[in-house]
Amino acid sequence: MHTKLTPRLAAELAQTAYGLLDSAADIRRLATPEIQQKVDFQQCVTGRSGGYILNRESGFAAMGVGKGGYSGDAIITIRGTEFTSGHDWATNAQIGLTGCSGGQTVHAGFCRAFASMRPQFQAFLAEWRVSHPGRVVHCVGHSLGGALATLLADWIAGGPWRQPVYLYTFGAPRVGLEGFALANTSRVPANHRCTHGADLVTKVPLWPFHHSPFKGIEYRLDSGQGLSVAAHLMDPKAGAVPGYLRTASKGSWDALQQRASLHLTPVRLDYAKRHQASFSEYWLERLSAALITLLKDTGYYAAIAAQAVIGAGATFYDLVAQTLAKIAAAATSAAEQVKGLLGHMLVFAGAVASAVTDLGVAAIRAVFDLMLRRLYQGVQDALKRTWPN
């Protein structure tokens, strides 16, 4: 039986990885005393972040071998978004899709950044396996680092490696579509996904992306309300919102509270009650659930989900708008369900005085744009504050 990293140690590893932006940084000097007692870091990993044209190479991860209770285990920690140059944000913002090493469809930006590091991971792990057969790999990351750690763990657990993996993420975004979430849940059952209630980054990209474990089980480290920029940070230097480093400061995973996602529960929204909505995690999950419920009620869910594999960016929401307009034109009851969804989306986005009078494609797409703009501006603000923190 392998020993899990404690929540406290995993959080310290995630925080320490931010010192790796300078690819020449010495991870041994950056590590806390507790990490130095538990891990012998041996290599740093550089990777490329950004788009197809503007991208750059920087330090991203540290790889080492465990000591004491983790003796012989491989431990890999990956840093999150560095916003000052914009390159890491470009990686986050690429909501195109691509196939990953396991054959499932994932976020193109995350996959491209991971692919730039994979040869270094492979060389380290190939040598490590010879010296430490039968041991486990621990993959850790915050924010973008959590997404990359998820892809790393999935790659190690599947394919030719078939290596047991423990995954620990803090404030990580969704990585792939439903097929990836299901496959990853099976391949990496020891998934410790840690979130804060008000952390915007954990809510994106929106459906059709899914978190894994697929059923939405997560370690909810605080009960923050609304959606807050500060809730995403590992270690805020000031303010009332505690960072992940503090909320994960337990010696056992059993001491942390687990919860299940709300977005898998059927939801139908009444337009007359739209002013109950607010810019909060609760309502973001209800809006996602209401859209899924509407598509399932009218028989369009399978077709839309299949189309998501082709493209999950702007063109995908064009398709959703066209489908909702078709649904609204076909039946009065369905039109009321569409109107209820759009009315709540407007209030969520802050347009409380707006009424839904037009159920045409352009009007529906405009409501989606307003909601997405409000949400992703908050995500961008959160990532701007991630480095340094």
Q: How confident is the model at residue 235 (pLDDT cuts 50, 70, 90)?
A: confident
For residue 210, the cross-strand partners are 176
Q: Under a CB-based contact definition with an 8 Å cutoff, are residues 188 and 155 in contact? A: no
Of 254, 146, 228, 230, nearest in space to 194 by CA: 146
Domains (range + CATH), the chain: 7-261 (3.40.50.1820), 271-378 (no CATH)
Tens-place pLDDT, residues 177-233? 888 999 999 999 999 999 998 888 888 888 888 899 877 789 999 888 888 878 888
Tens-place pLDDT, residues 41-72? 988 898 876 554 445 677 889 999 999 999 99
Tens-place pLDDT, residues 243-263? 999 999 999 999 999 987 766
- What b/e sequence results for 150-185 when a residue is b if at least 16 CB atoms lie within 10 Å of its CB, and e otherwise? bbbbbbbbbeebebbbbbbbbbbbbbbbbbbbbbbb
Q: What's the rounded Cα separation, in Å, for the pair 76 and 39? A: 10
Q: Which two tokens stand for residue 334?
A: 């369905």
Of 112, 123, 106, 108, nearest in space to 45 by CA: 123
